[in-house]
Amino acid sequence: MGIATFIVLLVIEVFFLAWTIKSKRNHSQEKSVTRIAELALFFILLIAGAFQLSFRWYMLLTILVIQSVISVIVLVKKTEKPYKAGKSIRRLIGGIILYAFAVVPAVVFLQYSPPTPTGNFDVAQAKYTWVDSSRIETFTDTGENRALTVDFWYPKNIEGKVPLVVFSHGAFGYSGSNQSTFVNLASNGYVVASIGHTYHAFFTKDISGKIAIVNMGFFNNVMAVNDRDDIEQDYYDSHEWLDLRIADEHFILNTIIADAKTASINDSIFSIIDIEKIGVFGHSLGGASFAQVARERDDIDAIINLDGSMLGEELGVKNGVMILNNTPYPVPLLNVYAEDHYRNAMELAGEDYENFYASRNAVCSYEVMFKNAGHMNFTDLPLFSPALAKLLDTGTIDARYCIEKTNSIILEFFNCYLKGGQTPNFDWEY
């Protein structure tokens, strides 16, 4: 739809340029009528359901509205500026660039139908921003305390208390990266809290509207680790990120639990949280950090790691060899792998890879692998932006199948360990 829209606008602009050059007139009146018609057609298509109004179309709509206002003024004044070929050509080039920029969101981010929730409850959302007074924000030089924003999904009109599950996104991810997962869990009777890790996320937006984008130092550091082969330096860099995430997650868990303990009956989120039933999960770096948090706390009942390396299992480097934690992993653990992640880990580290080592030594563990999946297939990104997801690593697996199956596995695992459901019977390969 985005490309088709751009082509139509381009054809109109080229037509007017050719007409202007041939007749040596600007045809301002005709152009003005056309501009107004373009805006009218936009709304007709919107009403007809050809597309949904969202951020994908905001820039184009803004341009069409501004052009229509100017066109009305031109029609009222009935003015016609002198024809100049060079100016007409420059106007065409400028218009093409402007339209191209405006339709980029519609091209990059597709209009799609999200996976259908499998539960019986309607789902509500809420957002909170909390400030950790014990920590200074290290990504700024203002001396402010670190602030974190958490998005909640929870079942409406539910009676009694339900389990809490908390999610942590990957490096450069964001709190809504797995919205289909959150909605599915909430529809099945869970309160879901997704942390936006300020300056680690692609962007965060707090309750006041303040936006923070990913810190470029962190971004470049992650890229450097991915591109080099220095086990000792990689250990120190990755554990610096890990320590920040772990502190964030402890703070958010403690805050939610404290609020749940003191919540009034009228608080629709915190009053329905059962703090005796807590699960955590995360994608990539978020899975790695929550896996370590689950080691450090005694109030977490289950952990799911979506395609993350369990960096917390690394205790240090000695003589070029990674030292791993040999204390049995204490919490039911589910590792979900993309095929390329699993194959690469087996090739480079074999059974000494930290995830495999932790699973073998866990009190209870499961491992599943998605054949032909890539790292981003465990988020919603391939559904609404296949092009961007491919740049960040997706496989040839059907994106909708992968995330829907992942969501069902997550639900089955948490149902067992947070609701006393049946023991999971996962296949090794999907």
pLDDT of residue 280: 98
Per-residue pLDDT reduced to its tens digit, 123-178: 999 999 999 999 999 999 999 999 999 999 999 989 899 999 999 999 989 999 99
Q: Is the pTM of this model over 0.75?
A: yes
Contact 188, 121 (CB under 8 A): yes
256 CB-side CA count, 13 A: 33
Per-residue pLDDT reduced to its tens digit, 326-336: 999 999 999 99
**Nearest of 335, 289, 341, 301 to residue 428 by alpha carbon:** 335
Instruction: Count Cβ atoms below 10 Å from residue 283 Cβ, excluding itself.
Output: 28
| Percent of the chain topping pLDDT 70 | 95
pLDDT of residue 59: 80
3-class SS shares of the chain: helix, strand, coil, % to 5: 50, 20, 30
**Residue extents of the structural domains in the chain:** 2-108, 123-419
Contact 231, 317 (CB under 8 A): yes
Q: Does domain 123-419 have CATH number 3.40.50.1820?
A: yes
Pick 5 or 183 by higher pLDDT: 183
Contact 372, 395 (CB under 8 A): yes
Continuous segment of H or E residues that includes residue 11: helix 2-23
pLDDT for residue 265 is more than 90:
no
Whole-angstrom distance, CA of residue 64 vs CA of residue 95: 12
Whole-angstrom distance, CA of residue 31 vs CA of residue 68: 10
Q: Where are the alpha helices (DSSP H) in 49-196?
A: 55-77, 85-108, 179-187
pLDDT interval class at 98 (50, 70, 90): confident
Q: Which residue has the tokens 């969101």?
A: 105
Q: Which residue has the tokens 């005796």?
A: 276
Per-residue pLDDT reduced to its tens digit, 336-355: 999 999 999 999 888 899 99
Instruction: Count Cβ atoms below 10 Å from residue 324 Cβ, excluding itself.
Output: 18
